[in-house]
Amino acid sequence: MINLILFGPPGSGKGTQAQRLVEKYDIAHWSTGDMFRFELSNHTELGQLAKSYMDKGQLVPDEVTISMLKKRMESGKATNGFILDGFPRNIVQAQALDALLEEKNLKITALLSLEVDEEELINRLLNRGKVSGRADDINEEIIRRRLQVYKEETTPVYNYYAEKQLAVQVNGMGTIDEIFEELCLLIDDRYTTQFVY
């Protein structure tokens, strides 16, 4: 069993790479972004609340995100493990995740951090916004604010897992295929002995 956190700022390619890793390693994909979008598209109270934060480039409150993830973990199967995409985003969430996994006798195998230059992130998000129409992807000022929030609140999560010797930096620059190949080489080299395909 392999339980991964795919980590990186908005625009680093977490969602794209997570989906490919899910297919290759047959593991569950738990994306907080997807969870919020599901709530949003179904016009739930939670979705509207999430939207009010996301449109301002702010993070959704911890207790909402953690409750949503717990519900998803309990309803979804993860026979070979899972990959978390977009969570945890701060130390409180990381600690809550540890407690949640401990209840289920599970542990994080590794945090893989996609490293991408800031200007590249901004360009990627603006280009994504042209296609997705997401309010938080079409305004450069909001994008810069999101990246600043990430630096202040989310970057410490890397250090939290680094202290546990679970954090690894991965070059997030290059083509989708190049980044995927690097992730797979790392996973195959270090972690796949821990579970059976």
CATH number at residue 56: 3.40.50.300
Runs of H (alpha helix) within the chain: 14-25, 32-41, 45-54, 62-75, 91-103, 118-132, 140-149, 155-162, 176-190
Within a domain: residue 148?
Answer: yes
Q: Please say if 128 is a catalytic residue.
A: yes
Q: Please list, in sequence order, all residues whose beta carbon lies within 8 angstroms of the beta carbon of residue 139, skipping any fewer than 6 positions away.
A: none
- Output the pLDDT for position 196: 43
Q: Give buried/exposed letters for 132-154 (b at 16+ CB in 10 A, else e).
A: eeeebbebeebbeebbebbeebb
Residue 192 lies inside a defined structural domain of this protein: no
In the residue annotation, 124 being an active-site residue is answered as no
Q: Is 27 helix (H, G, I), strand (E, B) or coil?
A: coil
Q: What confidence score (pLDDT) does residue 42 get?
A: 87
Helix (H) or strand (E) holding 111: strand 110-115
Q: Is residue 191 part of a domain?
A: no
Mean pLDDT of the chain: 89
Q: Which of 14, 20, 104, 190 is catalytic?
A: 14
* Structural domain contains residue 80: yes
Report angle CA 69, 70, 76 to the nearest 5 degrees: 85
**Confidence bin at 197 (pLDDT 50/70/90):** very low
Mean pLDDT, residues 22-41: 87
Instruction: Judge whether residue 32 has pLDDT over 70.
Output: yes
Which range of residues forms the domain containing residue 176?
2-185
Which pLDDT does position 74 carry in this prediction? Answer: 80
Q: With respect to residue 174, please indicate whether it lies within any of the assigned structural domains.
A: yes
Catalytic residue among 24, 72, 134, 144: 134
Mean pLDDT of 43-51: 81
Closest CA to 94 of 162, 149, 145, 22: 162
Select which of 20, 37, 70, 128 is catalytic.
Answer: 128
pLDDT, tens only, 90-128: 999 999 999 999 998 999 999 999 999 999 999 999 999
In a domain, 190, yes or no: no
**145 tagged catalytic:** no
Confirm if 14 and 85 have CB atoms less than 8 A apart. Answer: yes
Number of Cβ within 10 Å of residue 173's Cβ equals 13
> What's the whole-number mean pLDDT along residues 135-145?
90
Read off the pLDDT of each residue in 138-164 and give the average, rounded to a whole number.
Answer: 94
Q: Which of 89, 144, 151, 190 is catalytic?
A: 89
* Integer angstrom CA distances of residue 19 from 31, 48, 53, 145: 10, 26, 25, 27
pLDDT tens for each residue of 50-83: 888 878 888 778 877 887 788 788 876 778 999 9
Active site residue 89: yes
Query: What integer pLDDT is reported at residue 193 of this predicted model?
Result: 59
Which residue is it, tokens 């809550």?
A: 96
**Number of domains within the chain:** 1
Q: For residues 32 and 90, what is the distance between their CA atoms, to the nearest angstrom?
A: 13
Q: How confident is the model at residue 168 (pLDDT cuts 50, 70, 90)?
A: very high
